[in-house]
A and B are shown apart, each in its own frame.
Chain A
Amino acid sequence: MLSTLKRRVGEVLLPGDEFSYDGDDTISLTEPVRPEKVLCGPGLRRSGDRLLVCKSGVLRHKQPNVFWMDCQQKRYVHAKGETVIGIVTVKSGDVFKVDFGGSEQASLSYLAFEGATKRNRPNVQVGDLVFAQFIVANKDMEPELACIGSSGRANGMGVFGGGGLLFRVSLGLVRRLLSPHSEVRSDLEQLFPCELVIGMNGRLWVRSSSVHQTLVIANLLQSCESMTPLQRRELFTRVQQGAL
């Protein structure tokens, strides 16, 4: 299966395509036979011994044995450990309900903030933006968020906002912004001093020193969705020279 997977890296696959353990993998007689584990990321699903494709896109590979589907989508499906921007919608007793743009609202315990105790409640109002991490993300259970890491530190999570602008982009653009060698990010870095909060759920929050600049950045990022790198660079240099 590994060899077939590796051979098809970079190809477009559709839901329903499958990989299975065949006899085609040659087993070397000299080395000790140690079955290799495959880590399948989003878009691939395990079904018994087979590996099924469940999203259409391009098969990607990372060393040693990580495979996933690279696809464009707008609907966010929550996954454990991902950080998202949520909007507090309900404040009831000891949990907040947070809308993160998924199929269901997530619950956020009032104790899941840095420095919060039973006596000392965090100051969170309905309508506040929170940057939080999924600690329970299961298709059968209510998603649960937390604003602290496992060490009890906030590490940048928690309530934020004020003076910024929140808008939506596609999940693909979010991943492009967050990738280690992102061109969009390095282009953006040249423009204005600004601050960005990027949620994996496709929400982006920008703040800079003036409303005008904030709006410019927001519009630029939204138009990045459908531009070639060349067009983008051209537009960014024009903005930098003060054309907009």
Chain B
Amino acid sequence: MSIDSVKLSKNLLRMKFMQRGLDDETKKQLEEDERRIISDEHWYLDLPELKAKENLIIEEKSFVPCEDLKFGRMSFRGFNPDVEKLMTLMNPSDEGPAEEEEVTSRMPADVTDEEMALRYESLVGSMKRKFVKKRERVTDEDVNQNLVETNTKRIFLKPQD
């Protein structure tokens, strides 16, 4: 039996208890082998390199931003004041002075200012009475009969023994 034939296998040499008897050279060789195995086994993706191309075309499906279309609710000549308020809110680019000119051609109000004033004229008295206290209301009526009450404060008078 020659010495060459008695060669221990690599796997055997790698075992812990065999390490003591090994010389430096074989140790180094073994380590290198091991490293190669690990690096070979590492995964990698076999894909072409993904490179996002900058998109220069943006799609827009709606006409609204293209043609600067307005909001779809409108009211003319004060038919619906709420909607007219909304129109100025939703279409901020509206020109203001154009609307000012048309004040004369506005829709007639249901109650004119004069009617309103006449109505409130008669209401003034009753509204005033609402805010007056009961005691003061009595004095108010007294004034009409020219019976002026003295404004002395009532206090408790202690009876004499």
Interface residues of A (CB under 8 A from B): 21, 35-42, 44-46, 51, 60, 62, 66, 68, 77, 79-83, 131, 137, 155-156, 175, 178-180, 185, 188-189, 191-200, 207-209
Shortest distance between the CB of A104 and any CB in chain B (Å): 16
Report B97-118 CB contacts with A as 1/0, cut-off 8 Å.
0000000001100000000000
A36-B56, A156-B90, A175-B69 given as contacts; is B75 within 8 A of A196 (CB)? yes
A-B pairs with beta carbons under 8 Å apart, 22 shown: A40-B57, A41-B63, A42-B60, A42-B63, A42-B66, A60-B66, A62-B67, A66-B65, A68-B67, A79-B61, A81-B62, A82-B63, A131-B72, A179-B69, A193-B107, A194-B75, A194-B76, A195-B74, A197-B72, A198-B73, A200-B64, A207-B79
Q: Are A35 and B78 in contact (CB under 8 A)?
A: no
Chain B residue with minimal CB distance to A189? B76
Interface size grouping (class) on chain B: 20 to 34
B98 to chain A, nearest CB (A): 9
Pairwise interchain contact B73-A79, C-beta atoms closer than 8 A: no
B59 contacts the other chain (CB 8 A): yes
Partner of B64, one of A62, A82, A207: A82
B86 adjacent to chain A (CB < 8 Å): yes
Partner of B57, one of A46, A62, A81: A46
Say yes or no: B90 contacts A180, CB within 8 Å: no
Q: Cα distance A46–B93 when bound, in Å?
A: 32
From residue A101, how far is it (CB to closest CB) to chain B in Å? 14
- Do the beta carbons of B74 and A185 come within 8 Å of each other? yes
CB pair B72–A83 under 8 Å, yes or no, is: yes
With a cutoff of 8 Å between Cβ atoms, the chain B residues found around residue A82 in the complex are 62-64
Known: A66-B66, A175-B67. A156 touches B73 (CB 8 A): yes
What is the bound-complex CA distance between A133 and B108, given in angstroms?
A: 34
Whether A180 lies near B64 (C-beta < 8 A) is no
- Among B60, B76, B77, B86, the residue within 8 A (CB) of A156 is B86
What distance in Å separates the Cβ of A44 from its nearest Cβ neighbour in chain B? 8
| CB contact between A62 and one of B66, B83, B89 (< 8 Å): that residue | B66
**Docked-complex contact B90 and A37, CB < 8 angstroms:** no
A193 touches B61 (CB 8 A): no
Q: Are B83 and A195 in contact (CB under 8 A)?
A: yes
Q: Which residues does chain A contribute within 8 Å of B68, judged by CB atoms?
A: 62, 179-180
Whether B66 pairs with A209 at a CB distance below 8 angstroms is no
Out of B57, B69, B72, which one reaches A37, CB within 8 Å? B57
CB pair B79–A68 under 8 Å, yes or no, is: no
